[in-house]
Amino acid sequence: MLSSSSLIWIGVLLLGLEASLTRASDFQHHAYEEMVRALFAVQSDCPYITRIYSIGRSVEGRHLYVLEFSDNPGIHEALEPEFKYVGNMHGNEVLGRELLIYLAQFLCEEYRAGNERITHLIHDTRIHILPSMNPDGYEVAARQGPEFNGYLVGRGNSKEVDLNRNFPDLNALMYYYEKQNGQNHHLPLPDNWELQVEPETLAVIKWMQNYNFVLSANLHGGAVVANYPFDKSREPRIRGKTISSATPDDKIFRKLAKTYSYAHSWMHKGWNCGDYFDEGITNGASWYSLSKGMQDFNYLHTNCFEITLELSCDKFPPATALASEWLANREALVYYMEQVHHGIKGMVYDENNNPISNAVISVAGINHDITSGTDGDYFRLLLPGTYTVTASALGYQPFTSMVTVGPAEAVQVINNNPNTLFISDFFSITFFFVLLTSYLSI
């Protein structure tokens, strides 16, 4: 259930949107060149809050373009979280691609119109939108068209490789480490991994490594459900039986999935496409087990929490369905982005107030750590509650503090004493700054 404050924000968003993408002619499928023109048109309309960059090329040489929204495009601002949306990983699952184009247009239009909610989101978040991870597969699917598209036509890239089965398999290593009390985050990649993945997968992995993403969603089609990690089962397959495979952050992942499901017009109702998912969410392995998927890779190799959004029964819906699908998903797409601001965040400094990167942030009782970024800032998604949080780094004494997370955003409070814990009763959230004292050398 949405809180009263959430409902107020929703009202702010929905007021005055009649001019934003309301004509049926505004909704159409975009071939690659049309998609690129649409992205550059948004950048032209909102040049001071957007940037377009390419993370690489597909097998056939098409750019994988990302459109960034920020009040300082191209710059990571300390304590401002990074968010990403990825669409069209499967080339024939096209609704996510179109929704992300519409989302980009919507953010630009609403920002220019002075929408306070959207302005706040863009000023406090660095948003990255990759409408198509698989532009080659899309072109194959589009040649068939919505009426004749087969279930698998265009699913893979131009070499017919399924990109959601193409990431290094870190689950097996994680499950081994769980039994051995080993490393629980940022698992290492296998030797020569770059030679074992497709160009599109390689580009996305490098992207993840270059940006300290906090939250993400991967948009798919063929069902209507919010799917959360782990996708790969811990147990061997048993015919006719599936077993949930929970992460240490299962509670927050379930909350994130419900955030989208309940903000969507009908996902939360459960019955969709002939399937039933309670509250419109599912653990990936509980649905079916898959290896080398992207959402598990995000969690195991980076600081990013990602879920997979299955958004339509029809993988390639006709253009006439796009307007209603946009209205069904619009609030959910915005509300999900706002979740990147829930939990704790702060800075890790040494005794000279120099930021420390790659410091490990651990939460007692949750066997999954995250690390600070290049600027020494960290972001840890957490549900409301009281936690024991420890920051540690090689060559420094660890610092531990009790923190209380409330339902409001994790925001920064100016503090002249970095060893002090502050609580803001207004926001019901704890903000802490970590000072690591270096060991005395002999």
Catalytic residues: 310
What are the strands, taking DSSP E only, across 264-334? Answer: 271-272, 275-276, 281-283, 305-312
| Greatest extent of the chain over all pairs of C-alpha atoms, in Å | 75
Are residues 429 and 406 in contact, defined by beta-carbon separation less than 8 angstroms?
yes
Are residues 335 and 329 in contact, defined by beta-carbon separation less than 8 angstroms?
no
Q: How far apart are CA 218 and CA 130, in angstroms?
A: 10
The span from the first CA to the last CA of the chain, in angstroms, equals: 57
Contacts with 114 (C-beta within 8 Å, 6 or more apart), sequence order: none
Contacts with 236 (C-beta within 8 Å, 6 or more apart), sequence order: none
Q: How far apart are CA 326 and CA 315, in angstroms?
A: 15
Alpha helices in 46-170 (DSSP H): 95-112, 116-124, 135-148
Are residues 341 and 409 in contact, defined by beta-carbon separation less than 8 angstroms?
yes
Are residues 198 and 161 in contact, defined by beta-carbon separation less than 8 angstroms?
yes
Residue 309, strand partner residues: 219, 226
DSSP secondary structure, 71-94, as one string: SSTT-PPTT--EEEEEE-SSTT--
Are residues 133 and 162 in contact, defined by beta-carbon separation less than 8 angstroms?
no
Decide the pairing of beta strands 82-87 and 126-130.
parallel
Q: How far apart are CA 137 and CA 160, in angstroms?
A: 8
Going by C-alpha positions, the residue among 332, 291, 327 that lies closest to residue 310 is: 332
Name the 3-class secondary structure at 360: strand
Are residues 336 and 255 in contact, defined by beta-carbon separation less than 8 angstroms?
no
